[in-house]
Amino acid sequence: MQNIPEIENLIKLISKLPGLGPKSAKRIILKMINNRRELLKPLANNLYEVFKNIERCKICGTLKSNNNPCKNCEDKSKNFNKICVVENISDQWAIESSSIFQGYFHILGGTISDTNNDNNRENLLINSLIQRINKEDIDEVILATSATVEGQTTAFYIQDSLRNTKVKVTKLAQGLPVGGEIENSDDGTLISAFKNRKGLNNF
Ligand SMILES: [Zn+2]
C-alpha cells in the first residue's frame, strides 16, 4: 500500500482516530478496499452525510441532526428543574445509563484548557447555560466534569460564571471508586476521598 498518495493520506487520517495507529489503520483500509461495495462506498457516503447534517446544538451542546429537533432540548416537556453539566456527550450517555439523574444535560464539548483563547466561553456554551437556567426555571446546576485538573478548573470557571444567577451549584463528590481498594488508590483519589468523607452518625 506504499506510494499511493490517496492511501497514504487515508492512513495518516485514520491513524489520528482514538485507539488506532498506522498498523491498524492499514488493516482497516485494506478491509475497506477489498469490500468496495459493502463497506467503502456506504462508509464514504455515510461520513459525508454526518459531515453535512450532524452538528452541535447551539443551546445544549449535544450532537443533533439538522433534519430533526434536538432530543435534549425537546425534553423540555418533562419540566425538569436540574441541569447536569458534562464535558462530552459520552459522559451524558454514562450518566443516563446509570439512571441516577433525572434532568437536562448541558454538554460543554471539552474543558477550559482545550482552547486557550477568548472564544472559550463561546465554545463551552456558557452564555447559553445561563440563558437556560433563567428560561427553564432551573434550581440546581450539577457540575459533573472530570476529576482532572482541567475538569476541576472548568468546574470552577463555570461556578464563577454562574455567580449572578442565584441558582444552587453543586459538584459531584470525588473519592474512592466503587470496588476501589485503598492500597491501589492514587494520592489524588485518597485526598479527595478524605475531604469528601461523610458522617455516619449525627455527631
Ligand atoms: Zn439541544
* Ion ligand 1 residue ranges (Cβ < 5 Å): 57, 59-60, 70, 72-73
Highest mean pLDDT: which range of 17-26, 32-41, 95-104, 181-190: 32-41
Q: Where are the beta strands (DSSP E) in the chain?
A: 54-56, 63-65, 82-86, 104-107, 140-143, 168-171
- Express as a percent the part of the chain with pLDDT over 70: 94
Is domain 82-202 annotated with CATH 3.30.1600.10?
no
> How far does the centroid of ligand 1 lie from the alpha carbon of residue 145, in Å?
19
> How far does the centroid of ligand 1 lie from the alpha carbon of residue 147, in Å?
25
Confidence tier at 116 by pLDDT (50, 70, 90): low
Query: Domain 5-55 has what CATH class?
Result: mainly alpha
Task: Convert the pLDDT of each residue in 144-153 to its tens digit.
Answer: 998 888 888 8
Confidence tier at 38 by pLDDT (50, 70, 90): very high
> How far does the centroid of ligand 1 lie from the alpha carbon of residue 41, in Å?
31
> How far does the centroid of ligand 1 lie from the alpha carbon of residue 129, in Å?
11
Domain ranges of the chain: 5-55, 82-202
Task: Convert the pLDDT of each residue in 91-111 to its tens digit.
Answer: 998 888 888 888 999 999 988
SS (H, E, C) 145-202: CCCCHHHHHHHHHHHHHCCCCCCEEEECCCCCCCCCCHHHCCHHHHHHHHHCCCCCCC
Task: Convert the pLDDT of each residue in 148-178 to its tens digit.
Answer: 888 888 999 999 999 988 899 998 887 878 7
> How far does the centroid of ligand 1 lie from the alpha carbon of residue 72, in Å?
5
Residue 2 in this model has a pLDDT that exceeds 70? no
- pTM of the complete model: 0.77
What distance in Å separates the CA atoms of residue 109 and residue 129, rounded to the nearest whole number? 13
Could you tell me the three cell numbers for 33?
478496499
Average of per-residue pLDDT values in the chain:
88
Average pLDDT over residues 64-77: 84
Query: Residue 196's pLDDT is what?
Result: 81
